[in-house]
Structure 1
Amino acid sequence: MCTVSPSAAALPDPTRPAPATSAEGVRVLHVDAQLIVAEKPAGLLSVPGRGEAGRVNLASHLQAMWPDALVVHRLDMGTSGLMLLARGLEAQRRLGAAFEQRAVGKRYEAVVEGLIEAEEGRIAAPLMADWPNRPRQKVDAENGKPSLTYWQVMARTAETTRVSLKPVTGRSHQLRVHLQHIGHPIRGDELYAPLPLRAERLLLHAAEISFAHPATGLTLHFASPAPF
């Protein structure tokens, strides 16, 4: 779902396809002359990786249709949901600056282990790479970079809590480490959840993204329902 505020089209592209899901599970939600918004399925790399398996990824898939598509941000391989790509270097520069200036609104949904008692809160825990155990990250009060996540409970079951997450910063594995830090790792997280994982995938989804269009300045908002 996409909404534009104020109500107007943002540089429509006559080559824009109807939203459809590809063989790789990628669904394109929006294309115009400046950007692409797509849904990445869980298990697909955001960008090329090592070896033959790394050739199958969201960026390469979209570049086959739009050769000027450039990555602006990434999602972990296990995370599903909305990704924004720029078309051309100038759009990439402007959208990249919006991420750096924290002018991009992002909301995720996750299912975590255990029952969170409070209804909402914040996690301010500095993060850094856990070098001996890469790609793991860790909380480090002395050497970590400032990291902030806001959370709100959406629903509870007997064993889990569904939460809405709004990261202010964008550190590697931030949501995964922050939730583990408060004792509620994301279900299905191979790096940070206890065994057995009790989920076939990482239950983390990029559900909403909003930003100013790099050419028109109009605010675009996209939403994607969590598939779990």
Structure 2
Amino acid sequence: MEKRPFVYDPPLLPFLDIMYEDSDIIVVNKPSLILSVPGKERKHHDSIMSRVKSIYPDAFVVHRLDYGTSGVLVLGLHKAAISTLGKQFIAREVHKVYVAWVDGKLEGTGAVDLPLIIDLEHRPFQKVDLEVGKKALTYYQALHYDAAQDRTFVRLYPQTGRSHQLRIHMQQLGHSILGDHLYAIDRVYESVPHLYLHAALLRFKHPTTGEVLSFCAPAPFAVPEGCELQVSWLDEDLSLQVTSILKTPQPQIFELMPDLH
């Protein structure tokens, strides 16, 4: 397949959109079109982590958002904080809610339960593999359908943190995320200026004080009236509302891209 054109040109302003910082952690609202961590090539060095490290040399990310994904990102500022936060993510004690615009009309509340694994022949792509893939579970809920543009605003509750999980799971439903440069067909990829996937809400315990912290980052794309982001979404258990579960993989269609996250 042909590679889609790609030029890494991360936004320069704001240098960092800081939502919170203290002596242990810093929380930023990551824009789309910038890496969470430096890439392999020098031209891909600029990233959220490299920018934070220019201020806090010992800082390190404890989770990542894909290049195109925007939203809440937390970094530890010293080894103890990094370790404690990392353990929370590994133990799945961190609560996350994403919002996205997806192609077509998606209805109701459901789940996608399809295991994922790296596609060794087409890095950095991931693929569904029922035999050796790692557990990947996503709950979704359709909130608003825009008939004029044939797109649906959804909220997504990833129960695992696999690479590209939300993008593949939505593609498997037949409703790719708008602007997805990896897994969407050209029409969907080209319909918006960047990936319309946003890590809107994040809740975790402060690594030193143990205080429960919740953060809500405004979306960089239009949010329908009546669907305003709410911290209370973090308290909802969509598993109780699920009416359908996708467990049968569908064909994956993608265009080869450079080795970027």
Which range, TM-score by smaller chain? 0.7 to 0.9
Which residue is equivalent to 1:50? 40
**Structure 1 partner of 2:5:** none
Q: Structure 2 regions of 5+ residues with no counterpart?
A: 1-10, 222-261
Aligned pairs for 1:179-194 (under 5 A) are: 179-194=170-185
Residue 68 of structure 1 deviates from its aligned partner by 2.2
Q: Deviations over 1:103-135 (max 9, x none)?
A: 000111111111013x21111111111111111
1:176 aligns with 2:163: no
Post-superposition Cα deviations, 1:148-169, rounded to whole Å, max 9, x if no partner, equal 1111112111211111011010
> Would the aligned equivalents of 1:44 and 1:78 in 2 still touch at CA under 8 Å?
yes
Alpha-carbon distance in 1 for matches of 2:38, 2:168: 24
Distance in structure 1 (CA, Å) of the matches to 2:15 and 2:68: 14
CA contact (8 A) 2:179 2:193 kept: yes
Deviation at 1:70, TM superposition (A): 1.2
Residue of structure 2 in register with 1:195 after alignment: 186
RMSD: 1.4
Matched, 1:210 2:203: yes
Check if 1:146 corresponds to 2:129.
Answer: no
Paired amino acid for 1:185: S
Give aligned-pair identity as a percent: 45
Q: Report how far residue 44 of structure 1 moved.
A: 0.7
Match of 2:76 among 80, 86, 93: 86
Contact 1:25/1:40, CA 8 A, preserved across alignment: no
Higher percent of residues as strand: 1
- Tell me if structure 2 keeps the 8 A contact 1:25–1:41: no
Conserved 8 A contact 2:15-2:51: no
Q: How high is the TM-score relative to the length of structure 2? A: 0.77
Aligned equivalent of 2:237 = none
Q: For the residues of structure 2 that align with 1:157 and 1:41, how far apart are their CA atoms?
A: 24
* Alignment-mate amino acid for residue 167 of structure 2: R
SS of 1:132's partner is coil
Residue equivalent to 1:122 = 111
Match of 2:254 in 1: none
TM-score computed with the length of structure 1 as normaliser: 0.87
* Partners of 1:182 and 1:202 in 2: CA distance: 17
Kindly state the Cα deviation for residue 202 of structure 1 after the two structures are TM-superposed. Answer: 0.6
The gaps in structure 1 that reach 5 residues or longer are: 1-20
Amino acid at match of 2:136: S
Q: Is the 8 A contact 2:61 2:74 kept in 1?
A: yes
